[in-house]
Amino acid sequence: MMSSALLKLFRSTGSYLLAISRHSIFRPHSIRGIPVPKTDHERAAAARDLLKAAFGERVITADDPTSRPMVALTTPWSTTCHLPSAAYFQPVSAAEVSTALSIITKTQCKFAVRATGHNPNPGFSSTREDGVILDLQLLNDKSFDPETGIASLGAGNTWGEVYTWLEGKGRSVMGGRYEEIGVAGFVLGGGMPGFVNLRGMGCDQVRGFEVVLGDGHTVHCSAEVRPGLYRALKGGGSNFGVVTTFYLQTYPLLKTQYTVSLYKPDDYANIIEASVATHKEMETDVQAAYFTNVHRDFVAIGQLYADTPEEEPKVFEPFRKLESMMAPVVPKTDGTLSTLAQAIGHRPPKGKRTIFTISTKVDKALYLAIHKIWQDITATLPPSSDGTDLHYTIQPVTASAARAGRDNGTGGNALGLQEVSQNWCVFTLEYPRDGDDVVHQAAMDRLYEQVKAAAEERGLLLDFVCPTFADKRQDVLRGFGEENVGLIKEVAAKYDGEGVFQKLQYGGFLVRDL
């Protein structure tokens, strides 16, 4: 039940909550005579009660008698992020996001923004009981303009939903590789599509954003309108506001051909050699993509092609020469982005996850050194039979990926990609819910330091760190380069003058950490 003081606060503020641009939210003050709560838990409770008064059942709390709180709590992909928040609010419009932000800022409550919760870093899309979550999953509207080919997508959509919907219209969009990945986090973190070398990063497909700023105002931005905000949002994450709608360029239906096969892990030297050779071939064939996913018990290689040729693509010849294949888990299939996302989606049992990524130039000797480091550290962990799986993925990116983002006429992005062949190697540790966090995190810390050192010693380490694959402790924004860091700082100061997204936001790759 809301206290009488908070009820008075809610009833007396009304439109005043929506006019917060006229006040300084971080000076000690009272709201119409009602003292602002002093502790984080009190502020979260105040925000929760005001949200419930305004929005009723779309504000979910732990004491709700239905099962919805548990659904909200267990939405994140990693159980590491299953943190009990003071409240989960599910807005259905940008106007409701604005009102919610007004309540959050007036109570000075900590908050996080969640679309689908696929980021495994605790605090990025989750809070504890001293904060509230803006859960955007009900912002799932979709519309398509056949004249411009632009799709308008609410922030709560997933790529699986979007692919299927667009394919019904004979169109495709460069989005996430797995169907359960959300549009919002993917795009705001740059986003590596399955065919990154063909049309660039996911953020390079954006023609405009609808954004709710920290002062409650809703604005639109594009290459022509607020171009600084537009560019900064393409990789700059949650530093500027809550994006409620994405306007993405679509293309004629993209047909794809793909296969995924398992190989013997003891043939790693030949597998790495084939991966490097294929990467070099991809520089002259932008329709090709692959991944090499290395586990203790097998190596999965996915060969993806943005067409359906009758003959085997020459680019994958090094993989076809391997003699260690155990079995094809996805036979050669002619499909679409939708069927590809279904085929290669990684859906392990619910458990804890921690990740990090390293970007390097392409080099066989470095890859072999990284594999040896991985083997040594994996040997210190519980066996696979216990549900522990430390695996890494070679993800090739060609120089054409950076050029595509620069040359598509949309004003570029904030990522600062170098036009060189590179590997965005991702390391993922998955382990049971009851696993020892200290032991597992220590193993990942050793792995990170040793892999990074191996790349640095050879002069092959790149500054760029892909946000969607990064651990929360990695220096993501600085990896974008001095010019882009300057842009992000300038835009954050201009559009979030009170620092709502720096001072109240629970976590993320934020300007406050620079």
Beta bridge partners of 162: none
- Report whether 290 contacts 278 (CB < 8 A): yes
Same-domain status, 228 and 311: no
How big is the chain, counted in residues? 514
Lowest mean pLDDT across 110-124, 271-285, 420-434, 471-485 = 110-124
Same-domain status, 392 and 362: yes
Q: Can you give the residue range of the structural domain that contains 356?
A: 254-339+346-476
Is 329 within the bounds of a domain? yes
Residue 19 has pLDDT above 50, yes or no: no
**pLDDT interval class at 119 (50, 70, 90):** confident
Is 31 within the bounds of a domain? no
Q: Average model confidence (pLDDT) for the chain?
A: 90
Q: Looking at the 3D structure of the chain, how many domains does it have? A: 3
Q: Which of 144, 366, 97, 339 is nearest to 238 (CA)?
A: 97
Same-domain status, 470 and 495: no
> 158-165: long-range contacts at Cβ-Cβ below 8 A with a sequence spacing of 24 or more?
158/116, 158/182, 158/183, 159/183, 159/186, 159/341, 160/338, 160/341, 160/342, 163/336, 163/337, 163/338, 163/341, 164/338
Same-domain status, 273 and 324: yes
Residue 13 has pLDDT above 50, yes or no: no
**Mean of pLDDT values over 321-339:** 96
Which residues are CB-neighbours of 326 under 8 A, at least 6 positions away?
Answer: 261, 262, 263, 264, 298
Is 22 within the bounds of a domain? no
* pLDDT, tens digit, 9 for 90 and up, residues 168-217: 999 999 999 999 899 999 999 999 999 999 999 999 999 999 999 999 99
Give the CATH number for residue 215.
3.30.465.10
Lowest mean pLDDT across 177-181, 219-223, 244-248 = 177-181
**Mean of pLDDT values over 382-405:** 91
Which residues are CB-neighbours of 127 under 8 A, at least 6 positions away?
Answer: 83, 85, 86, 110, 111, 112, 133, 506
Is 226 within the bounds of a domain? yes
β-pairing, 396-397 vs 30-31, is unpaired
Same-domain status, 123 and 165: no
Residue 495 has pLDDT above 90, yes or no: yes
DSSP 65: S
**Mean of pLDDT values over 25-34:** 45
Lowest mean pLDDT across 34-43, 118-127, 251-260 = 34-43
